[in-house]
Structure 1
Amino acid sequence: MTDKLLQIAIDTALKAGEKVMEIYQQGDFSQYQKDDLSPVTSADIAANQIMIEELKRRSPDIPIISEESDAQTLSQRSRWQRYWLLDPIDGTGEFIAGSGDFAVNIALVVDGWPAIGVIHAPSHQYTYFAEKGRGCFKRDANGKEDRLQVAAYDGKRSLNMAVSRRQALANVTQYLHEHISFEHIPFGSCSLKSCLIAEGVADFYIRTGPTGEWDTGASQVILEEAGGTILDSEFNPLSYNKRESLMNPDFIALGNQNIPWREVVKPYRCQRDY
């Protein structure tokens, strides 16, 4: 049953990605600003509609939470044993800027934790996917699949930190211990940075600023199956569908668990009220 659901998630992400790329290549889209000042486009809305229609058709018994749809109240959601968690375009700013570093994200959350994750990067023609207990994989446009593993660590080399192209480096380096030697790798969307960690290109990523559970759901299982994890900025586990708000605290995406991460990143409390 779970294998079928993974295939549904992959198919849905690919279908939404085709629509996103059609709009992206035409360059004909509308742009808006949400209440939290984050951007949204007509491509986000179109992808959201495709994903919801496809998932309702193929898995009608599984409810859906999406960034671009109104969420039900916690009292309603808390009864769900499993649900789809969607981000139709992760990296809308990158979509608008034309960098290509955006992705379609789908997670299946089961008993409060992501069990399936799919991150499809339509511009790069890569699809990352994972299922709890069954590993993490990257598929290219030709259908070739590689199993992913976080980078090895011998305690000697510099660490590679994935960073945003659109955020001052000092915003994240302030949370590193002073003695840390690192290289930074600029890249686009939140979820694709986590994929860089899963495939061993980067070691970690610090995310400051507002994100939702849809930003981390697919990345969570992908990173865990590759040997990494995602924690909040105080090194506590994230939560899924446990609070009225679906917004995340600041978080850190981490690779090899043999790295003494508390000696790399300074734990800090995010002061925003979620």
Structure 2
Amino acid sequence: MFLSRLLDPVKSAAREAGAELWQLYQSGDFEQQQKADLSPVTSADLAANRIIINRLSELTPDIPVISEESYCIPLGQRQDWPRYWLIDPMDGTQEFVARSGDFAVSIALVEHGWPALGVIYWPKEDVLYYATRGHGAFKQQRNLINRIRVNEHQSGDILKIAISRRQPLQPIVDLLQNKHDVEYVALGSCSLKSCLVAEGKADCYLRLGPTGEWDTGAVHVIVEEAGGKILDSEFTPLSYNRRDTLANPDFMVMGQASIPWQQLIKARVTERNLTA
């Protein structure tokens, strides 16, 4: 009941932030800077961040918020939180700057170290993806709401893999045990590619390179409620709020459980997996 009461206000907050992003995207009236890690941030990210934090603070003043665009709270202060909001006010800033339209608002509620509520809003398409733990995953486009499930992949079907528009393909190809009968589906935004798996338009998404826990929090519950899984590159579950940094290891978003994923994708131990 607690999660269900939160869902509609969180969807509204995501839409409001997304509307601000879309207005700034269309007008071109935003400034771009570079973070310490050389990734881009814009005044639009910060505007959306303010909207979401204000709305969540009004909705649940006792629940803390972790955002990509806010100061990183030390682990010692946050590790015992029973629940917290985990947000990315604009997932896909590079896509925003590049004018592809493939960017999204991401809001998750993490309870006892595991995502329990997730909302993704894609302003360009006016689409909401959302889920609460134990109640299924849904896609809402305007007033049409449909429950979503991962693709019912059959033996012999072409395996559809979601990939980035901006990253080289070869590292992904190198992870595949069988490189035949594969189709690549390109889209921007980490969360939107994960939602492709959740709604059955791709069978998996392999993510190599830096991401934060805010990139996976909301989609984690959406993908799992749709019948899929998100695992790291060693086929173990991602974790939340257990590390000094909020960096994710490389990860895989996998659809139908009956697909022999460990026969198709090479497990990969990386330095980041060992030290994160």
TM range (shorter): over 0.9
CA contact (8 A) 1:15 1:50 kept: yes
Displacement, 1:37?
Answer: 1.2
Where does the alignment leave 5 or more consecutive residues of structure 2 unmatched? Answer: none
Q: Name the residue aligned to 1:4.
A: 5
- Rounded Cα–Cα distance in structure 1 between residues aligned with 2:35 and 2:179: 40
Matched, 1:89 2:83: no
- Structure 1: runs of 5 or more not aligned: none
Match of 1:174 in 2: 174
Deviations 1:12-59 (A, max 9, x none): 101101110110010111111111111111000000011111110111
- Alignment root-mean-square deviation, CA: 0.9
Secondary structure of the 1:117 match is strand
Say if 2:253 is the partner of 1:240: no
Distance 1:3 1:51, change over 3 A: same
Cα displacement (A) at 1:270 = 2.1
Structure 2 residue matching 1:209: 3-state secondary structure: coil
Q: What amino acid maps onto 1:157 in structure 2?
A: D
1:72-122 Cα shifts (integer Å, max 9, x gaps): 111110121000000000000000011111100000000100000000001
- Taking the aligned partners of 1:176 and 1:10, their CA distance within structure 2 comes to 37
Measure the CA separation in 1 of the matches of 2:144 and 2:9: 19
Q: What residue number does 2:227 align with?
A: 227
Q: Structure 2-normalised TM-score?
A: 0.97
Distance in 2 between residues matched to 1:25 and 1:171, nearest whole Å: 34
Cα displacement string for residues 121-167 of structure 1 (whole angstroms, at most 9, x for unaligned residues)? 011110000000000000002x1100000000221111000011111
The answer for the alignment partner of 1:68 in structure 2 is: 69
| Deviation at residue 8 of structure 1 after TM alignment | 2.2
Measure, in 1, the Cα distance between the counterparts of 2:208 and 2:271: 11
Equivalences for 1:61-210 in 2 at 5 Å?
A: 61-141=62-142, 143-210=143-210
Q: CA deviation at 1:6?
A: 1.4
1:179 positional shift: 4.9
Q: CA–CA distance in 1 between the matches of 2:26 and 2:224? A: 34
Q: Which one-letter code corresponds to 1:213 in the other structure? A: E
2: CA distance, partners of 1:46 / 1:213: 21
2:16 is aligned to 15
Quote the offset at 1:4 in angstroms.
Answer: 1.3
> In the alignment, is the contact (CA less than 8 A) between 1:180 and 1:264 conserved in 2?
no
Counterpart-to-counterpart distance in 2, 1:187 and 1:243: 29
Question: Is contact 2:153–2:203 with CA below 8 Å preserved after alignment?
Answer: no
User: In 1, distance between residues paired with 2:155 and 2:271?
Assistant: 33
Query: How many residues end up aligned between the 2 structures?
Result: 273
Q: Aligned-pair distance for 1:3?
A: 0.9
Distance 1:150 1:167 in 2: 24
Task: Tell me which residue corresponds to 1:251.
Answer: 251
Question: The residue matched to 1:230 in structure 2 has which SS?
Answer: strand
